[in-house]
Amino acid sequence: MRCPYCDNEGTKVTDSRDSSRDTIRRRRECLNCGERFTTYEYIEPVELYVVKKDGHRELYDRKKVRKGIEKACEKRPVSVDKIEEMVNRIETDIRKSGCREVEAEEIGEKIMEGLKELDQVAYIRFASVYRSFADITCFEKELEKLLKEKNK
């Protein structure tokens, strides 16, 4: 680490502590001029790519996941905190897999699983768009599956 005051490469760490979940704050002292300064270390996440149905790839966008969940939960008694927890859980699951690419379908299924537990109306809303229900029959089948699972 170079000293920002004298440009010397010799520094020592005098104190380290967690600054946030993924950041470490380090106090350093230059061995040449004696000045102290602070640096922050953070984990740079591996970029994730989403493979769409047509085969093209795009950078994973957490905002898109949140927006889809928020749209399904619109005018439902679901708190912003619950939505954020769900987005975090989905992203954590994807990152834990260790893969740099994830199928869009996998993300959609994870959203549906989470919505099924969170709010069943939001689940049906999301499923109707995600699964592209062609008619009322498809909608009824999904409702029947939901009711069967609930009665188990």
Percent of the chain with pLDDT over 70: 95
Cα 106 from chain centroid? Answer: 14
Span 61-117, pLDDT tens digits:
999 999 999 999 999 999 999 999 999 999 989 988 888 999 999 999 999 999 989
User: Alpha-carbon distance 126 to 132, whole Å?
Assistant: 10
Confidence of residue 129 (pLDDT cuts 50, 70, 90): confident
Say if CB 30 and CB 11 are below 8 A apart: yes
101: left (phi over 0), alpha (psi -120 to 50) or beta: beta
Judge contact between 83 and 114, C-beta under 8 A. no
Q: Which residue has the tokens 């270390």?
A: 41
Residues 6 or more apart whose CB falls under 8 angstroms from that of 5 comprise 30, 33, 35, 37
Q: Which of 8-12, 17-21, 27-31, 121-125 has the lowest mean pLDDT?
A: 17-21
What average pLDDT score do residues 18-43 get?
Answer: 88
Output the six-digit token pair for 52: 């769409």
On the question of pLDDT at 13 being above 70, the answer is yes
pLDDT for position 145: 79
pLDDT for 20 equals 66
Per-residue pLDDT for 11 more than 90? yes
The pTM of this model reads 0.64
Q: Are 51 and 104 in contact (CB under 8 A)?
A: yes
Phi, psi of 17 (to 5 degrees): -155, 155
Q: Which residue has the higher pLDDT, 146 or 30?
A: 30
What average pLDDT does the chain have?
88
